[in-house]
Structure formats: structure tokens, C-alpha cells
Structure 1
Amino acid sequence: MPDGDRCEKHLTSPRQHPRTTRTDHPALITPTSRPPAGGRSRRRRHAPRPGRAALPRAPAWCGRPATEPVAAGCRCASCGSGTCGHPSRNRVDLNPRAGSTILLVTAPTTVRAELFGPDRRATTLGIVLLISLIAFEAMGVGTAMPALVADLGGVSLYALPFVSFMAASVFGTVLGGRWCDRAGPRVALVAAPLLFGVGLLVAGTATTMTQLIVGRVLQGLGAGAQGVAVYVLVALVYPERARPAVFALLSSAWVLPALLGPPVSGVLTEAASWHWVFLGLIPFVLVAVGLVVPAVRTLARPDPAGGAAQRPGVVPAALAAAVGVAALSWASQEATLLAAGVAAAAIAVLVPALARLLPPGVFRLRSGIPAVVAMRGLLASVFFTVNSYVPLMLSATHGWSLAAAGIPLIVGALSWSAASAWQGRHPDLPRPQLLRAGFGALAVGTAGMLLVAPAWGLPWLALLFWAVAGAGMGLGFSSVSFLLLQQSAQNEVGFHSSAAQIADQLGGATMVGLGGALLALLGPPAVALPVLVAGLTALAVLGVATARRTAA
């Protein structure tokens, strides 16, 4: 056996792993190795020792010959999968004269090689860059928006660029999922980023608020569709064992923009112009498209028959959801009774739309995909809502400066990235249990904010508890993404991915809108925010109790 060959699950060399290299074990001798009639064999033939079972034969569905033994729990040497059906390249002649053969179990490719090997390096860099561009746009535009609306004379329409982007993103997410299930991600992964780039160009050259809004709508459509297409590409290109590390990279793609996006945007706005906050991203869009094109060019067109692409009424439901999200987004920024009424009307519009856009059983937490989608919504609802109100909690209640009040958000983002990277290095951990642990950490972190939100609270505890909550998101978010792809048929990955992202967007928008309504009804943040945090803690505990339902 060559030095580099090893059993995936056990030891690392023939000397250390005698069961893999024995030639006298009955389970390792193929029919061709029997001695000729009347001849003698130098090979000892004896029954297995008591308590030691013979190694199993290859199952019928595997590409290996039925007579070829395979060590239990080991995987295909070609791709690292245990159920791939690839023809085996593991047969080795130990004694050609006797005809004896043995299965040589080769070590699977390391996770790092799966991501950054010659075949996938460009693809990995491309999808990380695509997500980073969306993240930088989301984080940086807020810093430039005051100067932008003042220059265009649209201060009274300050919220509209954000609302239009969010609504278009929901619609683009639904259409992107349907597109990918019908035709695969080949066209979507090129057209959606280019549409996002056109939106950057339109917004970056805007001279009126109308042109700016058009640009933001195009950006939202492109961002929503490309987010789903990236998930579909991950399902098609990366083996299951490498996906936790892929999702760790995609999580980290949000961290650097979260840290650098606002200050870089501020410097560009002051030193040059707010126009460059949009225009400066366009070259990177072209680079990202160039990196993913070689991967998508080789993808086969899927068979949409019987898949989610045949679901009727999806487009009207997507339009209704976009309107509902726009209303919720506006209401979340207005702490008034009118905003509370608008939020209630938006929820009334969203409920029937979600029946078309989400898998049946999501609201009942049915086991499998419905529970996975629901867990994504719960995670986003709890974390992003508290995350939105932490600066208000610290500044309005405890008198912190705006700069200091943002520090817990940075701590939470770094903790999220670190926990996500950790789970990516442990791909064999059971994902439902990891998701439950993530919800547990999120529940602890959210409950801890009850010691911060009241007027008598200790504000410095926000740093500790929000780091715990961020770690929970790092474990939970990547686990949800992994389970989603693992349990989806090829012609349903787009629908399920879009459903998860819609649950994410709507869950966050709904809870943030509810927080605005509580502020309008109960008054000061020191009174309203503890009520909101208590309700969100209950949702996190619900996630702990039901995370096991995500197992297929």
C-alpha cells in the first residue's frame, strides 16, 4: 500500500491498520484467489477469530464489483462519498500469481483541497466575492445615505432606498429559486450578478431620487437571485463533506464588509463622492462573474419534471410578499401608531403569500425540510431583531455614544465567524445536534440582554452576551444551510433555498416591525425593549426544543 493511502475513519498506515492489509482474512480473498484443484496454497485459511466479524462486501448499489470487500464506514476514494456509485479504483493485486486482491481504501481529499484545489479554487473565490459584494453594499450604503439624499433633495424619502431594495430582493429570491430549478444555475449565476452591477451603475450615476430608486430595485433583484443561485451551485459542485467549510467561508464573507463597509463608505463619501460607494463595486462584480463562469459552464441542465418549479401561483405570491416586506420595512423604521397599523396590514398580506412560497408544514414545524426552513426563520428573527435594537438600547437607555454602542455588533459578528469556522473544521458532527447547540447559545445570549435593556441594567454585559449569541448563529446558520442541501432533491434546491431566505428576510422584518410597534405603544426603550427581548428569548427556546425535527 502506498504511504499516502489510508483508511478514512481509522489509522494512517498499513502497519497500524492490519485489518485493512491482511491477505489471509477470508473476507479479503476474492473467488479468483482460490488455489487450483490439487494445488497447495501458501496462504493460511482460517476462520475469523471469535468476536471479529468479517468485513462486509460492497453493497449492490455501489459501483464496485459485488465480490470486492469494503471496510465498514469507509468512503469512495474518487470523491469521498459513501453512496456515489463511482467505479472503484481501489483494487490492488497483492499476489498476481495467486490472483488475490484487496480493497485499498484511499484517504479522502482534505476539506481545504476540496475548496481550493485546482478544480474549485476559482469557484470558491467567486462565490465568496459575490456574497461579499452584497454584504458591502448592504453595510456601506447606510453610511452614505445621509449625504446621498441631501444631495438629491430626497431627505423626506430617506427610507425608500432601503425599502425598495428589500422588496425587490424578496421578489428576486423567489424568481431565482424558480429559475434554478427549471434551468439550473448556469444562466442565473451570470445574469443575476450582472443585473446587480447594472443597478450599481444606475444608482451610482443618479441625479434624481427616482433614478436612485430604480437602481436600488435592480440591485435587489440581482442580489436576491444570485444568493439562491450560489446555494444551488454549492449543492452541485461541492461534496457533502466540504459544505460546512463552504458555508463557513460564506459567513466570513459578511464579517469583513461589516467591519470595513461603514468606514470605507464614509471615507469615499467625504474624500470623493457618494457615487463611488456604488461605482467602486462594479469592477469586482465583473471579476466575480469571470471566476464562476468556468464552473457553471460545465453544469448540466436539470430535469424539472415533478419538482418545485411546477408549483402554481408563485409569481403573484412573490409580488404580494414583496409588497408586504416593503410595508414591514417601512414600519420598522417608524415608531408610531400608523406604523403599527401598516405592519399589521402587511402581515395580513404576507400570510397567504407564504403558503405558496414556503414548503407545506413550515408553521407546524413538520420534520425534515419544513422544520429546516422554520429554523432559519427563527434564527434570523431572534438575532437580527436584537442586533437592530442593541445600539438604541445602549445609547438611549445607558447614554453610550453611537460609536461605543456599535461595539457589541462587531463582537457578535466576529464570534459568528469564529464559530462558523470551527464547525467547518468538524464536518462529521451531527448537524441537528449542532443546530440545537446553536439555538442554546442564542437563547443564553438573548436572555442575557434582559440584564442590559432595563434602566437598571448593566450595559457592559452586552459585550459578553452578544458574543455568545453570535457563536450560536455561527453554529446554527451553517447547520441549517447544510441540512437544507442534504435533504433537497436536485430539482428542489432552488425552491428550498429561496424559501429559507424568505423565512430569513420576513422573520427579521416582522420582528423588527414588532419592535417598532412596541416602542410606539409602550414608550421609552427602557420599557419596550425588555418586552421585545423576552419574546425573542422564548422563540430561541422554541428553537432548542424543536431543532431535532430537522433530521430527515
Structure 2
Amino acid sequence: MSRAAPEITRPPPNAATPVNSGTSGPFRGLTLGIISVVSLIAFEASAVHTAMPAAAHALDGIPLYAYAFSGYFTASLFAMALSGEWCDRKGPLVPLFTGVAAFGGGLVISGAARDMWTFVGGRAVQGIGGGLVIVALYVVVGRAYPERLRPAVMASFSAAWVLPVIVGPLVAGTVTESLGWRWVFLAIPVLVLLPLTVMLPALRRLPENGGRTAAVNRRRVLLALAVAAGAGLLQYAGQDRSAAALLPAAAGLALLVPSVLRLLPRGTFRAGRGLPSVVLLRGLAAGSFLGAETFVPLMLVTERGLPVTLAGFALTGGGLTWALGSYTQSRPRLEPHRERLMQLGMALMAVAIAGPALALLDGLPGWAPWTLVAASWAVGGFGMGLTISSASVLLLRLSRPEEAGSNSASLQVSDALGNIVLVGLSGMLFVGLGGGSVTAGAHTAGVARGTAAAGGTGHATAFAAVYLTMAAVALAGAWVATRLSPRAESPSQGPTEIRGLR
């Protein structure tokens, strides 16, 4: 089917003269609105981790604790693919506003929930909203900004996470203790209205899809639904160590594997040159970093006896250097070296992710473990900034205008799948090597108070296995980054002709 869209480099009609910044001239309102929306989503992502223990306790829902997170990511998988198809055919305006409405509605559902299942349902609605919004924003960048400004705008996506990562836990903790956990969810929807109002004039000036309103590709949307259902079944099975879990695990694999092969660009899992490797690299980068990060605070608390607050601060530097790395890749003089930057980023991540394993060595001075982890995560954050933002820029460069939405959706689906699969693998390694008992019995009180014995819990092997495995994944990503340039042969073949579905 032919899918037409305007040229991705076409600027808004009122951009009569060149501008050198995404925050000047006709782009000011749109850029500020984008940054504000991303910041609010980032704040919610940071705040929910702080409020979740209180929410789960109040709703008597500790057994469903993990589903509040997996429900979000699983629903977002489906929404990302839907948003890509929707944007390619109708433009990004309606998917963006629908996503913001769903995100806000999910916050209200969770904030007003009277039982844990309702809360989890609200988180799933948030995931649908978040998936619609992030892909629509990528398409907005592709259609509204000239190519020379896109790297800087992509860098602003990462920069928009910096302040929320720093203040989110503090604000959420204060609100939870003073007003109750519900207000962490109920207060955010009101704040979304202002940035949408600022963005609306610029969004209305975006060029239409050549007057065409083709129906959404139901096959691709159904594949995304199968991926989400399969991922959900695998998550459920992964938390049940009985033989009964084999049935949902088999059903999950049967849905997930063939659907992913058809949903992502052809050649993704063999690191085909060009777009397939860009998509694969995004999943490896996001999943390996998060898979290791999930277990860093727990290690510092249980193995090194640090307070919970100090353990969390060890990761803060990574958020700051992530923004720095994203800013670095946006410099125009580095544009010819984008693939090299991504190789460097993945190599830095591999070294950084392995760093916390050194903090497990015996005989270190008291300050050394925290310093090792903080320094490692600062290096890793810089590598993530180089890699994640560059992947987004490279994807738009390799995409035909009419496929920017679908390809952006593939990038986000890879990101979400990487998170789900590699965080799950980290958890399986940790539990399989005996780490599951680290929070049991006497350790539970130590974790809650941040006062576990400095001598550790004897689970260093489990922690080290997680870090070294995720470092190996990041190192594999460094190899994938050598295959980002499209194949040179077959001059008649455009770079996105390799993204066809199986």
C-alpha cells in the first residue's frame, strides 16, 4: 500500500527565515511544550517509585506490586505501534492529544483506586497514553523541524529528564508523607494542560498527510497487541516458579516471538545493516542499563550497609551526564561521526555497568563502594546520552517520510522489549543464584531502614552475575553499533527498503 506524507524536512509555514535554535522564532512554543510534556512524564516516572510502597500498602496489594510497573510497559508496547500507524496516516496531532488524555485519565484512575487491581488498571491506561505520546512527539520533531535542528531537539528530550530525576523522589516523598500517596497521581493531570495549550498553534500548522486518510494497518496493530499479551504472560509466568507457570510461559512465547519478528524491521535480530541495527541497538542499550540499575541501590543497602537515600543518590549523576551526553551528540560538527559516537557510548556503558561489581570486593574503605558506583553511573549515563539520542536522529535520517511514524514506533517497541526482557533476565539470574533471600527475614528490616550490616549478606555472586551479564549485553551492543551505516550495495535500494515486515 502506498503511504504518502509531506517531506520530513519541511518547516512550518511561518519559518520564513532560517533559525539556529529550536527555542527561537516559530519553534519556541512547540519546543517548550514538548519539553514540558516530557518533563511531566519523567516526573511521574520518578515519583511513582517513591509513592508505590505506600500505595500498595494502603490498597493491600503487595502481591501485585510488580504488576503496577509491568502493566505500564506492556500496555505501552501496544500503544507505540498503534501511534506509529496513526501518525503516518492522520498526522501526530490526534494521537498526541489522545495519549495525553489517556495518560491523565490513568493517573486519575490510579489515584482514586480503592483496590490494587483498579490501581494496576490505571497504570495500564497510563501506559497506553505514554506510548501514544512518545511516538507522536518523535513524529512532530520529524515534521516540524528542519534536519539541522533535530539533534538539538532530541537532546532536549534527555535534558527534560534531568530535573525530574533529581527532585521527583523528594517531592513525591514529601507529598506522600504530608498529603497522602493519592495526590502524587491526582495532581499531575492538571499540570499537563498548560504545555498542550502552548503547543497547539504550532501543531495545527503542521503539514497534512497529503490529504490522505488511509485506515490504520490492522495487521501491524494486531501484531503489537500479540506482543503485549505475550510479554504480559511471560511476566506472569516469571513470577511463578511452579510447574503451572509453564502453560502461560509457552503461550507467551507463542504470541511474542513470531509477532516481534514481524513487527520490527526485517533483519533486526541478525543486526542487519542500517535501520535494523539502529532498532536493535536501542533495545540493547536501554535494557542492559536498566537491568543493572535495578539492582544497584539494593546492593549498596544490603551488601555495603548504606542508607537508602544515599544509595539512591549514587544514581543521580547518571541522569546529569545522560543530558550532557545527549547535548554532546547534538553538536553539528559531530554529525559526520554519529555512528562512532554510538560505538563509544555503548563501550562506556559496558565499562560502567561492570563497575558496581568492583564495589562488592572485600577490603574496600567505607567510602569506596559508593564512589565506585557513583563514578560508574556517571560514565554510563554519558554513554546512554550519546547512544539513545543518536539512535533517534539516525532513525529519522534512515526513514522515508511516510514511514517515520512506524519506524519511530519500532524504536520504542525495541526499547520497551529490551527493558522487559533484560530486566527479567537480571531478576532470574539474581534469584537463581540465591539473591531472592536478600530481602527475606532479617534483611527486610535492614533494607527498609538502610541499616543492613556492612559486612554484606553473602549474595555478592548474585549481584555480580547481574552486572557482568548486562555489561556483556552492552558490549554486544558496541558491536551492533559498527553496523549502523546502510548497506552500500544495490544503489537502487533506499535505506528503509530493508524494514519490510516478514
Instruction: Please say if 1:207 is aligned against 2:111.
Output: no
**Which residue is equivalent to 1:408?**
314
CA-CA distance at 1:454 after TM superposition:
5.3
- Distance in 1, matches of 2:322 and 2:78, equals 28
Query: Residues 349 and 451 of structure 1: is their aligned pair in 2 closer, same or farther, counting only changes over 3 Å?
Result: farther
Instruction: Please say if 1:135 is aligned against 2:42.
Output: yes
**Which residue is equivalent to 1:381?**
287
User: Match for 2:257 among 351, 371, 384?
Assistant: 351
Instruction: Please say if 1:392 is aligned against 2:298.
Output: yes
**Mapped contact 1:336–1:517 kept (Cα < 8 A):** no
User: Match for 1:470 among 378, 381, 404?
Assistant: 381
**Mapped contact 1:174–1:498 kept (Cα < 8 A):** yes
- Distance in 1, matches of 2:50 and 2:404, equals 35
CA-CA distance at 1:449 after TM superposition:
3.1
Instruction: Please say if 1:515 is aligned against 2:426.
Output: yes
- Distance in 1, matches of 2:209 and 2:146, equals 18
Q: Deviations over 1:146-176 (max 9, x none)?
A: 2223333333322232222222111111111
Query: Residues 377 and 337 of structure 1: is their aligned pair in 2 closer, same or farther, counting only changes over 3 Å?
Result: farther
User: Match for 2:65 among 134, 154, 158?
Assistant: 158
- Distance in 1, matches of 2:210 and 2:36, equals 29
| Mapping of residues 281-360 of structure 1, within 5 Å | 281-302=188-209, 313-329=219-235, 334=239, 346-347=252-253, 349-360=255-266
User: Match for 1:538 among 461, 472, 478?
Assistant: 472
Q: Deviations over 1:503-526 (max 9, x none)?
A: 111112111111111122211341
**Which residue is equivalent to 2:440?**
none
Instruction: Please say if 1:269 is aligned against 2:179.
Output: no
Instruction: Please say if 1:441 is aligned against 2:348.
Output: yes
**Mapped contact 2:89–2:213 kept (Cα < 8 A):** no
Query: Residues 428 and 411 of structure 1: is their aligned pair in 2 closer, same or farther, counting only changes over 3 Å?
Result: closer
CA-CA distance at 1:330 after TM superposition:
5.4
- Distance in 2, matches of 1:219 and 1:484, equals 26
Ranked by relative contact order (alpha carbons within 8 Å, sequence separation 6 or more), the top structure is 2
Instruction: Please say if 1:488 is aligned against 2:399.
Output: yes
**Which residue is equivalent to 1:93?**
none
Instruction: Please say if 1:528 is aligned against 2:462.
Output: yes
User: Match for 2:19 among 84, 93, 109?
Assistant: 109
CA-CA distance at 1:136 after TM superposition:
1.4
- Distance in 1, matches of 2:245 and 2:172, equals 32
- Distance in 1, matches of 2:213 and 2:281, equals 26
User: Match for 1:367 among 269, 273, 292?
Assistant: 273
- Distance in 2, matches of 1:510 and 1:127, equals 29
**Which residue is equivalent to 1:258?**
165
CA-CA distance at 1:215 after TM superposition:
2.2
Q: Deviations over 1:78-118 (max 9, x none)?
A: xxx8x99x9xx9xxxxxxxxxxxxxxxx9x632x3xx1113
- Distance in 1, matches of 2:233 and 2:297, equals 23
RMSD across aligned positions (CA): 2.8
- Distance in 2, matches of 1:480 and 1:521, equals 34
**Which residue is equivalent to 1:121?**
28
CA-CA distance at 1:347 after TM superposition:
4.7
- Distance in 2, matches of 1:293 and 1:380, equals 31
Moved more, 519-528 or 456-465: 456-465
Moved more, 374-383 or 149-158: 149-158
Query: Residues 544 and 284 of structure 1: is their aligned pair in 2 closer, same or farther, counting only changes over 3 Å?
Result: same
- Distance in 2, matches of 1:444 and 1:548, equals 18
Which residue identity is paired with 1:513?
Answer: G
Which residue identity is paired with 1:286?
Answer: L
**Which residue is equivalent to 1:72?**
none
Bigger CA radius of gyration: 1
CA-CA distance at 1:474 after TM superposition:
0.9
SS of residue matched to 2:351: helix
- In structure 1, runs of 5+ residues without a counterpart are 1-80, 90-105
Moved more, 317-326 or 499-508: 317-326
SS of residue matched to 1:120: helix
Which residue identity is paired with 1:109?
Answer: V
**Which residue is equivalent to 1:461?**
372
CA-CA distance at 1:325 after TM superposition:
3.0
SS of residue matched to 2:295: helix
Moved more, 528-537 or 480-489: 528-537
- Distance in 1, matches of 2:70 and 2:284, equals 22
Corresponding pairs, count: 446
SS of residue matched to 1:366: coil
- Distance in 1, matches of 2:261 and 2:303, equals 40
Q: Deviations over 1:342-379 (max 9, x none)?
A: 77864554211201221111001111111110110111
CA-CA distance at 1:408 after TM superposition:
2.2
- Distance in 1, matches of 2:421 and 2:484, equals 23
**Mapped contact 1:340–1:514 kept (Cα < 8 A):** no
**Mapped contact 1:196–1:220 kept (Cα < 8 A):** yes
Percent identity of paired positions between Structure 1 and Structure 2: 41
- Distance in 1, matches of 2:230 and 2:360, equals 29
Which residue identity is paired with 2:265?
Answer: P
Query: Residues 533 and 159 of structure 1: is their aligned pair in 2 closer, same or farther, counting only changes over 3 Å?
Result: closer
User: Match for 1:171 among 78, 81, 91?
Assistant: 78
SS of residue matched to 2:206: coil
- Distance in 2, matches of 1:420 and 1:358, equals 25
**Which residue is equivalent to 2:87?**
180
SS of residue matched to 2:412: helix
Query: Residues 551 and 160 of structure 1: is their aligned pair in 2 closer, same or farther, counting only changes over 3 Å?
Result: same
Which residue identity is paired with 1:534?
Answer: L
Which residue identity is paired with 1:366?
Answer: G
TM-score (normalised: structure 1): 0.75
**Mapped contact 2:430–2:465 kept (Cα < 8 A):** no
Q: Deviations over 1:212-249 (max 9, x none)?
A: 23322221111110100000000001111111111111
- In structure 2, runs of 5+ residues without a counterpart are 1-8, 436-458, 487-502
Q: Deviations over 1:278-337 (max 9, x none)?
A: 121112211122122112212233259999x875622222222212333455577x5957
Moved more, 150-159 or 281-290: 150-159
Instruction: Please say if 1:419 is aligned against 2:325.
Output: yes
Query: Residues 303 and 455 of structure 1: is their aligned pair in 2 closer, same or farther, counting only changes over 3 Å?
Result: farther
- Distance in 2, matches of 1:439 and 1:125, equals 30
**Which residue is equivalent to 2:500?**
none
